[in-house]
Amino acid sequence: MRKKVIGDCTLYLGMMEDTIGNIERVDHILTDPPYQYIKTHSFDKEFNERFFFENARRLLLDNGFIALFGRGTSFYRWNTRLADLGFIFKEEIVWDKRYTTAPCIALSRVHETVSLHTKKTGKIRRSKVPYVEQKQFDIESVVNDIKRIKSAIKTEIGLSKILDFLSGVRIYEHDMAIKHHISQRPVKIPDRTVATIDSVKNGMREKSIMSIGRSGELYKYKLSHPTEKPVRLAERILALISDPGDTIYDPFMGSGSFGVACIRTGRKYIGSEMNPEYFEIACKRIKEITPVLEGY
């Protein structure tokens, strides 16, 4: 086992089973374990699932989250293991890749799934995504938003609502509250045009389907690992489960994308990787970005 500390990141070279015992406490876990269906690849090795998930329960406080990438039989088994250990399922994220990663099979696979579980009391954070980023693959929706704003500006009432909102006044439809069909609590519905202006100005609420393709990756980087995830995808997941300053643990680090995401969003990071080549790549990526942010 080898340990390397770079800024707020602690990186271990070694198998999860050999390194996890060195960690006493973390706020959250974000990881992409081996899916165990491509048996011919060295990165898809089996691991001690029971040992890992029991340690996840040991490491996390009651409000801690584990965000777990996965696919197929192993993914459903992992979710069941977490439930058996008392974890509470909170949400499911679908990553829409915008491109196929399996061009030779009958069904063109363009997604992966992430499940979010809390040990006991964790709550999903409200997160905003810049309008252009959220709408970049839905031009029809952008056109409809433009038409709505254009129509409102042409009327005295519509223009007045927009100006009031831009001046700091919240405008609601019919100025009345309705009961939400799930919570049964009164919910104020914003004026549709004002809501559109708000989303352009302040961003849109995060969605359970995150469309991030190769062209949508905000931080360009040549892939160094066969199953490498976009840094931006990790950032958006981190915004839902954690706060700046939190410590994130990733026992299957790969080439360090989640570590880069933690640095960019002000989180501390602990990662481990069993492959020496990927470990060195992760160290290099994290070391390259750390001095830049420290100079701010």
Q: What is the pLDDT of residue 46?
A: 81
Burial 22-33 (b: 16+ CB within 10 A, else e): ebeebbbbbbbb
Q: What is the pLDDT of residue 168?
A: 83
Confidence of residue 296 (pLDDT cuts 50, 70, 90): very low
Element (H, E) at 184: none
Kindly give the residue spans of alpha helices, DSSP state H, lying in the chain.
16-19, 49-59, 72-84, 131-135, 139-153, 156-166, 192-202, 231-241, 257-264, 276-294
Q: CA-CA distance, 85 to 53, in Å (whole number)?
A: 8
Q: What is the pLDDT of residue 180?
A: 55
Please determine, looking at this structure, whether the domain spanning 2-127+207-294 carries the CATH number 3.30.2270.10. Answer: no
pLDDT at 217 over 50: no
Q: Is residue 24 a contact partner of residue 270, using CB atoms and an 8 Å limit?
A: no
Residues 261-288 have pLDDT tens digits of 999 999 999 999 999 999 999 999 999 9
Which of 99-103, 115-119, 201-205, 254-258 has the weakest average pLDDT?
Answer: 99-103
- Average pLDDT, rounded, for the chain: 87
End-to-end CA distance of the chain: 33
Tokens 């999903």 belong to 124
Retrieve residue 88's tokens.
């509470």
Q: What is the pLDDT of residue 269?
A: 98
Count CA atoms within 13 Å of residue 188 on its CB side: 10
Residues 220-246 have pLDDT tens digits of 445 555 567 999 999 999 999 999 999
Q: Is residue 165 a contact partner of residue 198, using CB atoms and an 8 Å limit?
A: yes
**Helices and strands in the chain, H and E counts:** 10, 13
SS3 state of residue 115: strand
Q: What is the pLDDT of residue 187?
A: 66
Q: What are the extents of the domains in the chain?
A: 2-127+207-294, 144-204
